Amino acid sequence: MTPDVVAEHGLSAAEYDKILDILGREPNLTELGVFSVMWSEHCSYKSSKKWLKKLPTEAPWVICGPGENAGVIDIGDGQAAVFKMESHNHPSYIEPYQGAATGVGGILRDVFTMGARPIANMNVLRFGDASHPKTRHLIAGVVSGIGGYGNCVGVPTVGGECAFHGSYDGNILVNAMTVGIADADKIFYSAATGAGNPVVYVGSKTGRDGIHGATMASVEFTDNSEEKRPTVQVGDPFTEKLLIEACLELMATDVIVAIQDMGAAGLTSSSFEMASKGGVGVDLNLDQVPAREENMTAYEFLLSESQERMLMVLKPGEEDTARKIFEKWELDFSVVGRLTDTGRMVILEKGEVAADLPIDPLALASPEYDRPWVVAPSADVRVADVPAPGPIFTLLKNLMGSPDLCSKRWIWEQYDHLVMGDTVQRPGGDAAVVRVRDTQKALAITTDCTPRYCLADPVMGGKQAVAETWRNLTAVGAQPLAITDNLNFGNPERPEIMGQFVGAIEGIGAACTALDVPVVSGNVSLYNETNGEAILPTPAIGAVGLLADYTQAVGLAFPGDGLAVYMIGENQGHLGQSLYLREIAGREEGRPPPVDLDRERKIGDFVRGEIGRGVITSCHDISDGGLLVALAEMALAANIGVTITAAGGTLSDHAWAFGEDQARYLVTAEGKNFVALVEEARLLVTCIGRTGGVALVWGDQTLALDELRAAHEGWLPDYMAG
């Protein structure tokens, strides 16, 4: 095997030497391909697993933490929520429609593989600067792909986030999250057991699409990356829907020993992972794998990432039971192998041995790197040095019409967010709320991350990402239970990038511990950079919480006129790394706002408790853009204005209005004694103003809601129209 061939497979010389030690011989090309995908960054987590082990993953309500297809938490009444978030960044840049669509398909399979019926999708999107010539094309393709796949499958897309920054010009982020519901005692796992048990292939036929997709996602882009289109899979949502129904029907029969979807690295990854987890071997006959193209080689069969495929181990003699179900749903079904007690993967093609590999040394002995890392310090920004170039309401209107803060209605209106009929709160609020069918319960779901914070201070940025999702769930009245993460970073071989990762992990771990929300699943996506220019560090957090009674959920819209609006929490006017600083002052600098986790916990628990008691009637956490942006969002949601009576005191108006201090909520409340109630809890509370009219009013300034709405709603449709 020549050094060039080894390098083309994404393996270093040291890694190839390790392969020689494991095998005691040179691999053939098929075997080299297997090592290549299994030891890719995307599949092996070789740069990150040292640090991932530090994250808290346990709680009494956690049924299954990281290591399976998705995380599982107990939500009472014998039911479980199953969820995960995963990236499809690299394919979505190369081929935006199919890349995004198959990202949705893959995460759906991760969830229903566990025995859960998917009930909701979310997504986290990051695009390049609006002025970049490719951005409009990428947005159109990605949004269409997400909507096209999710809408056809019939699972509502209920929320997410979308933001823009020049660092994503050559490497966009498309992170997809799915949540499902299962019986807590009927969770399915991927560990294959029982020598002699049949290994069956179900779903779509295998083609040549997606070969080396995992390897492609484990290197940085160059100017020639669009030549990698053949590595992008092609999805079929209608087949996915059939596959969901067929799998769930089979799961009701008690014949499945283990099940795994064929995601990254396809048949290779699924078979090796199942065998390794169960401590067994596999004899695999590629002649039995359903193929949609002629003359496919063993290499192509093993490395294809064709979509809508599953691998199962069945109880002995139950092949016909399963076959009838899959044939009824017009899906391929084939017995492709048997489990053995050899601990080896023996792959046959046309009666010959195409590959003979030890399973555990390959699956468990993948490289684990302790890469060098450094953290770059950042200096803070003095509020006094930040200008206010115009009246406050003019600045507000500019902010509300900026790419990050503008309404994303143009996006979510392309998604079916009402299918299945259980969506209680639609996109646009702090968190989506989806009813658990035939119960009073509901799940609250949210995603969030502030990459500019993570760049300036990875530890604080990691804390903030978790804290904000926790606040988002709290703001609708839900008890946060657990998170999934999608850790998007640049090239880990650069110490400053690895430092971002290490710091973010530290911050996420600290916040998860303090706020009692363990990590139950996740994904790492590295090498998100082009020609040496990395994305902003983006550790996206997806969080799930529980409402015992969905009718108690509150939203951000003011419930009526004549209501006092209160801010709970402290306003210090922190402008470092704020959107105000970037969008108005044209500066990206400073430290992010500090995150006090004890204060987050204390204030959030109070707010959630008062929502549950019916005292707080609307609620919105204060985050990007600060206090005045949050107030404007509440007013627009209700089409009810506010007369602002508070002022900044010792703070300048723009710092008071647009500072991004953490651990703050805006609320309306029933009763006359709300201030006393908050003060009794030893929390800070300020009356900001009173609802009424159709404008924002502050002293001698007035901003009509219609004018504000035009700025807020107009940017994205106008931009996409060209």
- What are the start-end ranges of the H helices in 329-415? 359-364, 392-400, 409-412
Residue 69 to residues 77, 88, 307, 367, 520, Cα–Cα distance (Å):
23, 16, 16, 22, 10
Sequence length of the chain is 722
DSSP assignment string, 4-38: HHHHHTT--HHHHHHHHHHHSS---HHHHHHHHHH
Whose tokens are 């602002």? That residue is 644
What gap in Å lies between CA 343 and CA 358, rounded to an integer? Answer: 6
What gap in Å lies between CA 435 and CA 255, rounded to an integer? Answer: 30
What gap in Å lies between CA 146 and CA 138, rounded to an integer? Answer: 12
- Strand-by-strand arrangement of the 616-621 sheet: 616-621, 665-669, 564-568, 685-691, 642-644, 695-698, 701-704
Residue 196 to residues 267, 271, 337, Cα–Cα distance (Å):
19, 15, 9
Query: Nearest-CA neighbor of 638 among 555, 514, 553?
Result: 555
Main-chain dihedrals φ then ψ at residue 268, nearest 5 degrees: -60, -60
Coil, strand or helix: which one is 530? strand
| Residue environment code for 17-39, b if the CB has 16+ CB neighbours within 10 A, otherwise e | ebbeebbeeebbebbbbbbbbbb
> Could you tell me what percentage of the chain is helix, strand and coil, using 3-state DSSP and rounding each to the nearest 5?
40, 25, 40
Active site residues: 42, 88
Tokens of residue 323, six digits: 């076959």
Residue 278 to residues 57, 179, 189, 341, 643, Cα–Cα distance (Å):
22, 26, 10, 10, 64
Main-chain dihedrals φ then ψ at residue 626, nearest 5 degrees: 85, -165
Residue 337 to residues 38, 281, 322, 333, 354, Cα–Cα distance (Å):
20, 10, 15, 12, 14
Query: Nearest-CA neighbor of 632 among 398, 470, 465?
Result: 398
> What's the CA angle centered on 270, arms 264 and 275, to 5 degrees?
150
Main-chain dihedrals φ then ψ at residue 566, nearest 5 degrees: -115, 145
Residues 6+ apart with CB under 8 A from 656: 571, 573, 627, 647, 648, 649
Query: Nearest-CA neighbor of 546 among 638, 612, 468?
Result: 612
| Radius of gyration of the chain, Cα coordinates, nearest whole angstrom | 26
What gap in Å lies between CA 623 and CA 282, rounded to an integer? Answer: 52
What gap in Å lies between CA 108 and CA 121, rounded to an integer? Answer: 8
CA torsion angle 688 691 692 694 (round to 10): 80
User: Taking the CB of residue 615, how many other CB atoms lie within 10 A of it?
Assistant: 17
